[in-house]
Amino acid sequence: MEIRRATLSDLPAMTAIYTHARRFMAEHGNPNQWGPTNWPPEALLRADIAADDSYVCVEDGRVVGTFFFRQGEDVEPTYRVITDGHWLDGSPYGVVHRVASDGSVKGVGRFCIDWAYARCGHLRMDTHGDNIVMQRLLQKCGFVHCGTIYVEEDDDPRLAYEKVRKTDCIRIDAGGITYLEHMDGTDWQWGSDYTSGDLYEAEELYRDGHPIRKNRLVFVRCPEPKLYEPITARDGQYFGRPCFADGRIHILLVDFPQKEILIYRCAPDMASAEVFVRLPLDAVPDCYNLMLHTTPLTLTRQGRENTFQVVWPERGSFATDPSESLDSRDGDRLLFSKWYEDPDYREELVVRRCPTGEVLERADGALMTMPDGQRWLFV
């Protein structure tokens, strides 16, 4: 998932998300927070977008969540007065409001809140007393209940929460890249600045004749507070998600002007990288969900047309369900996670043969890859 600023073209998706959220709240014991006023109104969403305070969460090129985020000095006037307690810290802070998802992807709310916190280190939020789901999420995210505040849109009190980063930390200058992800099976973290969105969105911009600003890809490994950047891209080139295989980090890069897909293999010291695989860009219909997986190292694409494509080292394609997504590869087996809402949410492991897609096994449970590379199935 990725976060970007919302635009007016996102309004239909945002409106649909809030409609779903109001229904979800009502079904889970919270009909009064947004329901009676049909909150939030479109005029407010438009104002948030115009002020660059509105954000959307994107998965596979599709808007699946949205929220308001602003940071600075005294950015939320309703937080000036707090009863039944006190704020933890009086320094400038960030505030998140109206976080919601369409329910199609798990973990959107936490992803959005963690993203906002990573950008300010001091975050305040509030929620309705009947919103038990959000209260539990804020507690899981490490927030502290500080007291009660009141908002302008109604007379109902709100529970006030705050999370403050400890100051005894090591500072690393990452050039504005402040959100990093863990690389499965390693102690490496990686991060990128999505100057033109994800890889597929960058491709759409290029095809529409817009210039593609290069993005950056950086790595860190605990406990060493050092930033590694083995490749510097050029304008027109764009990084995808990296992958760890055969003891090395591998980097996916698409060179749109040269119409090439490149896979780099990093040197053991991460000081440099060399081209390991070079493929023509027309090997795939587009870059939608073009990703590296392991083990062995494999390049795949999962298109919007519900076709899964093994691009390299084998070639093959087969139909998949819209709720299936590839987790990893294990030899000649492709391990897919599939989710259901029938009506309760559940997950299933689907094992397919590579590259034909023949289903070999199904098992209930959620698949997770541990830091040491083990795969655990939670049932």
Task: Supply the mean pLDDT for the chain.
Answer: 90
Best CA proximity match to 49, nearest among 93, 2, 15, 77: 15
Question: What pLDDT digit, counting tens, does each position of 249-287 carry?
Answer: 999 999 999 999 999 999 999 999 999 999 999 999 999
The per-residue pLDDT for 34 is: 81
Mean pLDDT of 115-133: 90
Cβ-contact 29, 130 below 8 angstroms: yes
CA distance 7 to 137: 27
Range with lowest mean pLDDT among 191-195, 294-298, 325-329: 191-195
Cβ-contact 218, 228 below 8 angstroms: yes
The per-residue pLDDT for 169 is: 66
87 or 223: which carries more pLDDT confidence? 87
Peptide bond into 178 cis (omega under 30): no
Mean pLDDT of 332-359: 94
CA distance 336 to 347: 10
Mean pLDDT of 349-374: 91
Q: Are strands 122-128 and 93-101 parallel, antiparallel or unpaired?
A: parallel
Best CA proximity match to 299, nearest among 349, 351, 263, 247: 263
- Most confident region among 24-28, 127-131, 160-164 by mean pLDDT: 160-164
The per-residue pLDDT for 63 is: 93
Question: What pLDDT digit, counting tens, does each position of 232-244 carry?
Answer: 999 999 999 999 9
The per-residue pLDDT for 107 is: 87
Question: What pLDDT digit, counting tens, does each position of 147-160 carry?
Answer: 999 887 777 889 99
